[in-house]
Structures are given as structure tokens and as C-alpha cells.
A and B are shown apart, each in its own frame.
Chain A
Amino acid sequence: MKIINFLKIIIILAAVGISVALGAGIYLFNMPHRNVQSAKIDFAVSATELVNEYLTGPEVADEKYLDEEGDSKILEVSGKVSKISRDFNDQIVILIKDTGDNAGVSCTLLITSNAIGGKILEGQEIKVKGVIRSGAMFDPDMNRYENVIMEKCDIVSKI
């Protein structure tokens, strides 16, 4: 009798263990992407400061802002709208670049932010929240500066 009870407990524990492992596997496989807009801001910075951080110390800036698994820092970037365009995915791209700066911050808005993005005008001062993907640099092969890249952005406010 004792052996049967013992086997029952083993079977129940094994079933629970398998269910937990299976559940964890299914969760990991179908794990949703991070919701950038509902996550907290890691750094609030002006476009000029961010660009200068990258141009003066790219390794230090990458260490500060980029994540090994791609969940890089969420930034709130402020500055002047220099250019507005649309990408091949019909997302609005706002370049925040202050007068006199060599590079700016290229922010691709979430498609759900196209309505508010469509009201932004060149020359306006704005704040944008999004995730950083890569930094600014001078590319000698292109002979031009590359902008800081941010995606999954939304307009926080017009300043």
C-alpha cells in the first residue's frame, strides 16, 4: 500500500514537473516582444548630448545604451525636428537634429503613432520616447555622419 502511495506521489510530481517545463517552454517560444512604450525610461537626454556622447566615446556609449540581447535602453530624446519622412513600412521617421550638429537622432514611430506623428512639423521642438538601436558615427566610406537610430517611438510632448 505504501509503495502504491509512494508511486502515486512520484507520478503526480513528475506530471507537475513536465507540465511546468512544457508551460515554460511554450511561454518562452511565444514570449511577446517588450512593450517599449509601457516600459520605464532609462535615460532622458537631448539629441545633441546623445550624439556627442557617441562621437566622443562610442565604446563607452555602446556599453551604456546597448543590451546584449537587443533589449537596449529606452530613451526620452528632446530636440528640434529637422526632417520628417516615411519608410518602406509606411512608418513616420522623424529626424531630431539641432542646428550645427553633425548628426541627429532618427526616430521611427510606431505605426499606431502615425496620427500624432502626422501633426509634427519641421522646426518644432519635441520629446520622443523609444528604444535605441545604434549610435552616431562618422563613416569614412560614406564620407558622412550616421545618425543615432531609435525605433518603436512615440511623441511624448511638443516642447
Chain B
Amino acid sequence: MKNLIASAMIFMMVVSIVGFVSPIEKLVSEKTHISFFSITPLEDITANNYKSGSTLDTRTGEIVFSVPMQSFEFEKALMQKHYNGSDFLDTKKYPRSKFVGKITNLESIDFEKNGTYSATVEGEMTIKDKTNPIKEQGKITVIDGVITAESTFKITLADYGVVFEKGKPASNIAKTIEIRFEGEYGVE
């Protein structure tokens, strides 16, 4: 009888602990799409990257992206060579870029309830050896446990040491480019 009562108490304790622990914690995304757009009167340039990784901690709001820079694919091979080269992104020396930040309005996002939520993200972006603060708006969508994050923002290339002063790149590549991010998160 004592054993039965003890087992029942242990069962109740386990149930209450499980009940208080959120089922969603640190989520991982390896299904991502980052694209960038450079628009000038002379030429529009787009590149796509499907190989970035990201983590999202739904308890703290911490969000991290790691971007393999050589995975950006351009329509034209010559553009891709220029982009990777030491005068531009120098991707052999700096093979990954990174964003480390936090969702600052975590209280207005319910990761366990279907819906679309606005998210404010603040953090630091590192491209090559330059790090700059970033504060942008994004969107979190929850559909039956699948969490998707999206954001569109602009960066100024000169802030990251990418400067074109002469030649075709100076006239054909925009000084400020638009970046779009989309990631689908799940438990690893």
C-alpha cells in the first residue's frame, strides 16, 4: 500500500514538472533562404543562399544566424567570382558571416499558438571582420508547431568594409543592398 502511495506521488510530481516545462525551447533551422538584391539604374543583381543555419531560443529570444558566404549563387559566374574575391567579400578568408541577436518583444509572441506575430530583433551583424549593431522588424509564423521566421532589411556595404570606388562595380553595385531571410525552425 505504501509503495502504491509512493508511486502515485512520484507520478503526480512528474506530471506537474512536465506541465510547467515548456515543450519548445531551443529550436534549430537548417532550412533557410537568404537572398540579397542590389538595384541600380544600370543593373539589378540577385543572389540566393539555401545553406545557412540558425538557432532560436523561445525562452530567451536569442536568435543566431550563421551564413556560409560561398553558398551565395549568382546568375552570372563573373559576378560570383567578383563577389567572392579579396577586393569584395573575401570569402576564403571570411567563409562565414554571422548575426547574434535577441527578440526584444518576446512577451507578444506565443510559440505554442497558431498565428503571425511581429518581432523586433536587435543584435550584431558580422561580415568579414566588421561588426555593426542592427535593429530590424521581422515576422514569426506558428502553424501547428512549425515556426517560421522572416525578415527583410537593408545594409550599407561600406559599413562592412566593402567599398567600390572605381570601375564597373562602382556603377553597377548599389551602396545599400536589401537582404531577405526566411527560416523554418524545429527541434533538432
Q: Do A and B come from one complex?
A: yes
A→B interface (CB under 8 Å): 28-34, 62, 66-72, 85-89, 91, 93, 106, 108, 133-135, 137, 139, 141-144, 146, 149, 151
Identify 18 new A-B residue pairs, CB closer than 8 A, beyond the known A70-B80, A88-B31, A133-B51. A28-B78, A29-B76, A31-B77, A66-B92, A66-B95, A68-B84, A69-B81, A71-B81, A87-B32, A88-B184, A89-B33, A91-B50, A134-B68, A142-B53, A142-B64, A142-B66, A143-B55, A151-B71
Q: In the complex, are the beta carbons of B70 and A66 less than 8 A apart?
A: yes
Contacts of A149 in B (CB 8 A): 51, 68, 71
Q: In the complex, are the beta carbons of B76 and A62 less than 8 A apart?
A: no
Q: In the complex, are the beta carbons of A70 and B30 less than 8 A apart?
A: no
Most buried by B among A68, A108, A135: A68
The CA of A33 and the CA of B77, in the complex, are separated in Å by 5
The CA of A34 and the CA of B77, in the complex, are separated in Å by 8
- Across the interface, B78 reaches (CB within 8 A) one of A29, A66, A72, A106, namely A29
B76-108 toward A: CB 8 Å interface, digit per residue (1/0)?
111011011110001110011010100000000
Q: In the complex, are the beta carbons of A62 and B95 less than 8 A apart?
A: yes
B→A interface (CB under 8 Å): 26, 28, 30-33, 48, 50-51, 53, 55, 64, 66, 68-71, 76-78, 80-81, 83-86, 90-92, 95-96, 98, 100, 182, 184, 188
Contacts of A71 in B (CB 8 A): 81
Most buried by B among A30, A85, A133: A133
Q: Looking at chain A's contact residues, is the secondary structure mostly helix, strand, loop, or mixed?
A: loop
Given contacts A88-B50, A142-B53, contact A31 B68 (CB under 8 A): no
Contacts of B53 in A (CB 8 A): 142, 146
Q: Which 5 A-B pairs have the closest CB atoms?
A: A70-B84, A134-B68, A88-B33, A69-B81, A133-B70
B74 and chain A: residue at smallest CB distance: A33
The CA of A71 and the CA of B84, in the complex, are separated in Å by 9
A145 to chain B, nearest CB (A): 10
The CA of A24 and the CA of B94, in the complex, are separated in Å by 31
Q: In the complex, are the beta carbons of B84 and A108 less than 8 A apart?
A: no
B75 and chain A: residue at smallest CB distance: A33
Q: In the complex, are the beta carbons of A87 and B31 less than 8 A apart?
A: yes
Given contacts A70-B84, A134-B95, contact A142 B71 (CB under 8 A): no
- Across the interface, A134 reaches (CB within 8 A) one of B26, B70, B81, B90, namely B70
The CA of A32 and the CA of B76, in the complex, are separated in Å by 7
Q: In the complex, are the beta carbons of B68 and A133 less than 8 A apart?
A: yes
The CA of A11 and the CA of B88, in the complex, are separated in Å by 39
The CA of A67 and the CA of B80, in the complex, are separated in Å by 12
Q: In the complex, are the beta carbons of B78 and A141 less than 8 A apart?
A: no
Q: In the complex, are the beta carbons of A68 and B51 less than 8 A apart?
A: no
B26 and chain A: residue at smallest CB distance: A143
Given contacts A141-B98, A149-B51, contact A70 B83 (CB under 8 A): yes
Q: In the complex, are the beta carbons of A108 and B85 less than 8 A apart?
A: no
Contacts of B32 in A (CB 8 A): 87-88
B181 to chain A, nearest CB (A): 11
A137 and chain B: residue at smallest CB distance: B96
A82 to chain B, nearest CB (A): 12
